[in-house]
Amino acid sequence: MSREIVIAIDFGGECIAARWAVGEQHVGELRWDAPVRAPGEPPFWATEDGHALILETFAMTHFPNVDRLVLTLPAGDVDAHRAPLEQRYTGLHDVRNTECRSQRLRVRVRRVCVEPQSPASPATANAPA
């Protein structure tokens, strides 16, 4: 049985959904309302607030090693953002420890996958109407 640790964050819908799993076992989930993007503004995942949300997800999972971080974006944004996101999130990240706020947690992300949103993306599935 695979013990791969995967964190998946879907930025493609009206809400942002983060899920994490160990192997095939779902471990946890968080959801946030997606901010409205005004014309000319960068997409949320490319902002400092988006970066903070990703680091907060790392902190909430308490995994020091993440085998794969999957970032799901609207299909039209994947090509332009794949390389910068892979570069930014592959490697070590220093995040606050949610169990002991005076300590920090170092998280190592081994691989980042930037994928297009599918028509039935988890961020839009089960979203309140």
pLDDT in tens, 74-104: 999 999 999 999 999 999 999 987 666 667 8
Distance CA 8, CA 31 (A): 12
What are the φ/ψ torsions at residue 127 (nearest 5 degrees)? -75, 145
| Residue 58 parent element (H or E) | helix 48-61
Structure tokens at 69: 């971080």
Does 60 score more than 70 pLDDT? yes
Instruction: Say if 27 falls within a structural domain.
Output: yes
Contact 118, 80 (CB under 8 A): no
The predicted model scores a pTM of 0.86
Mean pLDDT of 14-36: 93
- 126 lies in a domain? no
- 75 within a domain of the structure (yes/no): yes
Structural domain for 110, as ranges: 5-116
Residue 109: which CATH number?
A: 3.30.420
Q: Is 121 within a domain?
A: no
Q: Is residue 85 part of a domain?
A: yes
pLDDT of residue 127: 43
In the chain, how many domains are there?
A: 1
Contact 84, 90 (CB under 8 A): no
36 domain residue, yes or no: yes
Lowest mean pLDDT among 55-64, 66-75, 87-96, 116-125: 116-125
Residue 128 forms part of a structural domain: no
pLDDT at 102: 66
